[in-house]
Amino acid sequence: MASPTYDDAFVDELLKDVDAYLHRLTVLTDFAESQVEERIRLARLVNRLASDRDGLQLEISKLQQTIESLDGRLRSTEGSIAMRAARAPRRILQAVRRTRSR
């Protein structure tokens, strides 16, 4: 009884199938790696943007405090004698114009 021999065409077909599967696995692995790299890049970008946002919010808070401080100073100077005296000539001129136009 002779040992069975393999059909060369069958073996060649199996080898081609294995090569095709290995190629698909390589393509899928490369794609998965690129997706992981992209997600890492995006996560770093999101972290940087969040950090920038926090810094900008801090700057906005400081600017709001400065504006409130300046607003308070402006309100306090508007009622002062110096400001009223500075506005007096303009008010007098407006009053004179009103009386002339009547």
35-84: pLDDT as tens digits: 999 999 999 999 999 999 999 999 999 999 999 999 998 888 887 888 88
Contacts of residue 77, defined as CB under 8 A and 6 or more positions apart, other chains included, come to 83
pTM value is 0.52
Report the alpha-carbon distance of residue 93 to residue 54 in Å, rounded: 51
State the Cα–Cα distance between residues 21 and 87, nearest whole angstrom. 89
Q: CA 40, CA 46: separation in Å to the nearest integer?
A: 10
Token output for 68: 């409130």
Instruction: Give 10-26 pLDDT, tens digit per residue.
Output: 888 999 999 999 999 99
Contact 81, 87 (CB under 8 A): no
